[in-house]
Every structure is written in structure tokens, then in C-alpha cells.
Amino acid sequence: MAKISNTTVYPNVIPAADDFVVLTDVNDNDRTKTAKVSDFQSYFGTSSLEVTITSAQLLTSFTQPVVLLTCGANEFITVLSVVQKYNFGTTPYVFAGGSNMLITNNGSATVQNMQYELTDIGGVAVNQTANAVGPVKSKYPLPGGANSLTFQSDVANPTGGDGTLTLSMLYRKITI
């Protein structure tokens, strides 16, 4: 039998969620078992989400924040990273001066509820993929949990515009 380090016999691959990994179960007399790669993601507590914000949702994103995720009592959602893909339609969006797009808790743009600031798409007339600006220092998680993670504009609804915005997020749902 070849050594596991022999990459000719055992070539390196980029794992997919449904691929299997061989491991030793120390809780079952060191028996050899398998697990799916996706099981490790669950074990380490990270999850991913991809959601597309429609033009109609963008145009009302201040008055009607878009719910991305929800959690129960004593659970908290912490966003780890965001990649955003803006798909330009035919007309760019116009945001109020200094306006930002945010990922927040419970649709509230007050400082203690902000989690992530997104890269500005106001006036952008081309397709664009970018890392979000980054996490906002906040007093998160909020006491009690059971918060929803929302997408919104922080000052007013944008005007014009007909493109979509796809958010790919890595997050953790923590139970306390």
C-alpha cells in the first residue's frame, strides 16, 4: 500500500462539499470512518449564504430592509466576510449623499446594529465584483439573540437603477 504522501497514487484535489474524508473515530475504539467535507464546515461553525437582492428590493432597501438570515433566542449571527457582485442593468442607482449599503441586525442602521459596510454601487454603470468594505466596529451581538441579519441602505432609498446585487457571505451562528 502506498503512503498517503504519494501524490501519484493519491493525487491532490480541491475538495467539494460531498467528498469524503477518512478519519479515526477516537470515541469508537479508533475505528476508521468517513465524513463529508461539508460536515467539517458544520463542526467548525461556519456557514455560507448567497443571496441576490433584486432591483425592487434595492429601491426600497431603506424603508423595507431585506431579511437575509434569522436566528432563535440565545443565537447570534456574526458575519465573517462578504463578496458582492453588482450586475448592472441599464440605469445606475443614485444613493443619497454619503449613503452606504449595510448588513445590519434587525433592519436598524444605528451604530450598535451595524455588522458590515458594502462597497458603494451608486452611479456605477458596469458589472462589478468586490470584497465588501469590511466589518463595522459594533456592540454586537445584541443581548438576547433572536436577531435577523438584514441588508439595507443607511440614509434613504436609492432612486433609479435596475441592476441586482448578489452577496456571498461567510458567517457564524453562535448559541450562547
Cα–Cα distance for residue pair 154/59, rounded to 1 Å: 12
Residue count (the chain):
176
Contacts for 80 with CB less than 8 Å, ≥ 6 apart: 46, 169, 170, 171, 172
The pLDDT of 123-127, averaged and rounded, is 89
| pLDDT of res. 96 | 82
Rg (the chain; Cα; Å): 21
Cα–Cα distance for residue pair 103/15, rounded to 1 Å: 30
Whether 144 shows a pLDDT value over 70: the answer reads no
Contacts for 107 with CB less than 8 Å, ≥ 6 apart: 65, 67, 148, 150, 152
| pLDDT of res. 86 | 94
Q: Percentage of the chain surpassing pLDDT 70?
A: 87
Chain position carrying cell 451595524: 114
Q: What is the pLDDT of residues 89-120, one digit of tens each?
A: 999 999 886 667 888 777 665 655 677 778 88
Q: What is the pLDDT of residues 62-87, one digit of tens each?
A: 999 999 988 887 787 888 889 999 99
Cα–Cα distance for residue pair 12/25, rounded to 1 Å: 23
The pTM of the full predicted model, rounded to 2 decimals, is 0.74
User: Is the torsion defined by CA of 62, 63, 66, 67 positive or negative?
Assistant: positive
Distances (CA, A) of 157 to 32, 68, 99: 56, 18, 9
The SS3 of residue 112 is helix
> Lowest mean pLDDT: which of 11-20, 53-62, 138-147, 167-176?
138-147
The residues pairing with 52 across neighbouring beta strands, listed in sequence order, are: 166
Q: What is the pLDDT of residues 12-41, one digit of tens each?
A: 888 888 899 888 888 999 899 999 988 877
